[in-house]
Amino acid sequence: MVAGDPPAAFEFKLKAIPGESPATTRTSENAMPHNRLDGKIALITGAASGIGRTTALLFAREGASVVLTDINEPAGHAVAAEINTQGGRVIFEPGNVTSAADCQRVTERAVREFGGIHILFNNAGIIRRASVVELSETDWDRVMAVNVKSMFLMSRLVIPIMAAAGGGSIINTASGWGLAGGPRAAVYCASKGAVVLLTKAMAIDHGPQKIRVNCICPGDTDTAMLRNEAQQLGEANEKFLAESAKRPLGRVGKPEEIAQAALYLASDASSFVTGTALVVDGGGLAGS
């Protein structure tokens, strides 16, 4: 190349793999590993909608047998039917994850039907948009029960099962607001901050049993819960979503993007990752 000439276009060619004709040589797209959860059994709470539903579908496509639980029975059965239609292995067991008896029933059915639990996705969650002075004691207790107590109840049942099997992965849904505060979200921020530190404490306690514990901290994600926030605040959906999109990537997240983070933490790709709060928020916390 002569000085001053424009640089030649960079070209990358995959070398043919011995035993394969050029026509069948793999590209980066079809070389992506599939069935990353083959042989695994995953229990997912809050599985009837939003991030839970999308993660259930993804885990099933990746080869996992999935156990779904949610308080919304019709929606939970619909997700199970969708997975069945796609050839996946699935059961739906309705349950209230703030109830110790319900958590035990769900866990026992998972073991009875599939033989164990390798992945626990503690995903059930609710939000109440209010300051401390606006909250009732009932609001406080309900949010803390669903967002934090449920993880304690499920984890204490599943950890012995994982330990007996030689290890596993627990994934907790936290939030960007578990790492930074937000307006009129006092109990939600408190609950998600608790999830972040519960995750770290559990990772320390159960690492010797080869159980990895991590949490995902999503930013605003396009789910029914996000739109419910607008209703609680008395704002129009369009205005609320436009405000939510004010982050470096200029949009809210998709449930599929959070599900991909859960897949990473559930799979062997994250085999040396534990005690981590994985932020998936389009850069929302980048300046904090």
Choosing from 59, 92, 177, 188, which is the catalytic residue? 188
Annotated catalytic residue 188: yes
CA 62, distance to chain mean position in Å, is 15
Q: Dihedral angle at the C-alpha atoms of 89, 213, 48, 254, nearest 10 degrees?
A: -110
Residues annotated as catalytic (active site), given as ranges: 188
